[in-house]
Amino acid sequence: MRDLYRMPGHLIRRMHQISVSVFAARMRAAGQDLTPVQFAALAALSAHSGVDQATLAGLIAYDRVTLGGVVDRLEAKGYLVREVSETDRRARILRLTPEGEAALDRARPVVDAVQDEMLAGLTRAERDELLRLLHKAAEAGNARSRAPLRAPQAERPAQG
Amino acid sequence: MRDLYRMPGHLIRRMHQISVSVFAARMRAAGQDLTPVQFAALAALSAHSGVDQATLAGLIAYDRVTLGGVVDRLEAKGYLVREVSETDRRARILRLTPEGEAALDRARPVVDAVQDEMLAGLTRAERDELLRLLHKAAEAGNARSRAPLRAPQAERPAQG
DNA sequence: CCTAATTGACAAGTATACTTATCATAAGTA
DNA sequence: TACTTATGATAAGTATACTTGTCAATTAGG
- Using the predicted structure, report yes or no on whether residue B153 has a pLDDT greater than 70: no
Between CA A60 and CA A40 the distance in angstroms is 7
For residues A115-123, average pLDDT: 96
Distance, CA of A115 to CA of A31 (rounded, Å): 18
Task: For an interface test with A, give the residue of B1, B15, B111 to mutate (most A CBs within 10 A).
Answer: B15
Average pLDDT, chain A: 93
Instruction: Assess contact for B4 and A40: CB atoms under 8 A.
Output: yes
In the predicted model, is pLDDT for residue B108 greater than 90? yes
For residues B50 and B82, give the distance between their C-alpha atoms in angstroms, rounded to a whole number.
9
Flag if A43 and B4 touch (Cβ within 8 Å).
yes
| Residue A30 pLDDT level (bands cut at 50, 70, 90) | very high
Interface confidence (ipTM) of the complex: 0.93
Of B33, B113, B47, the closest CA to residue B79 belongs to B33
Q: Which positions in strand D are less than 7 Å from the protein's CB atoms?
A: 7-13, 15-21, 24-27
Q: Which amino acid is at A17?
A: Q
- pLDDT single digits (tens) B22-44: 999 999 999 999 999 999 999 99
Q: Kindly report, residue by residue over A83-107, the tens digit of the pLDDT.
A: 999 999 999 999 999 999 999 999 9
Q: Select from B1, B18, B137 the Cβ nearest to the Cβ of A15.
A: B137
What's the CA gap between B4 and A104, in Å, rounded? 13
- Who contacts B27 (Cβ-Cβ below 8 Å, separation ≥6)? B33, B34, B107, B110
The partner residues of B95 in beta bridges, in order of sequence, read: B81
Say if domain A4-137 classifies as CATH 1.10.10.10: yes
Those residues whose C-beta lies under 8 Å from the C-beta of residue B122, and which sit 6 or more positions away, are A133, A136, A137, A140, B130
CB-CB contact of A56 with A46 (8 Å): no
CA distance A91 to chain B (A): 25
- Is the CB of residue A19 less than 8 Å from the CB of residue B144? no
Residues whose CB is less than 8 angstroms from the CB of residue A25 and which lie 6 or more positions away in sequence, other chains included: B144
Q: Does residue B156 have a pLDDT over 70?
A: no
Averaged pLDDT for residues B149-160: 56
Tell me the pLDDT band of B103, cut-offs 50, 70 and 90: very high
- Give the per-residue pLDDT at B63: 95
Tell me what pLDDT residue B160 has: 33
Per cent of chain A over pLDDT 90 is: 88
| CATH 2.102.10.10 corresponds to the domain B4-152 | no
**Which residues of chain B are within 8 Å of residue A127 when distances are taken between CB atoms?**
8
Domain positions in chain B: 4-152
Q: Which pLDDT does position B157 carry in this prediction?
A: 43
Contact criterion met (CB below 8 Å) for B4 and A60: yes
Of A2, A149, A155, the CB nearest to B112: A2
Residue B17: name the closest of A84, A141, A40 by CA: A141
CA pair distance B40, B23, nearest whole angstrom: 12
Residues at the strand C interface (Cβ < 7 Å): A 35-38, 62-63, 65-66, 69-70, 73, 87-90, 145-147; B 13, 17, 20-21, 52-55, 64-65, 68, 71, 82, 88, 90-92
pLDDT exceeds cutoff 70 at B159 = no
Question: Is the Cβ–Cβ distance between A82 and A92 less than 8 Å?
Answer: yes
Question: What does the pLDDT read at residue B155?
Answer: 53
Summarize the confidence of residues A23-28 as an average pLDDT: 96
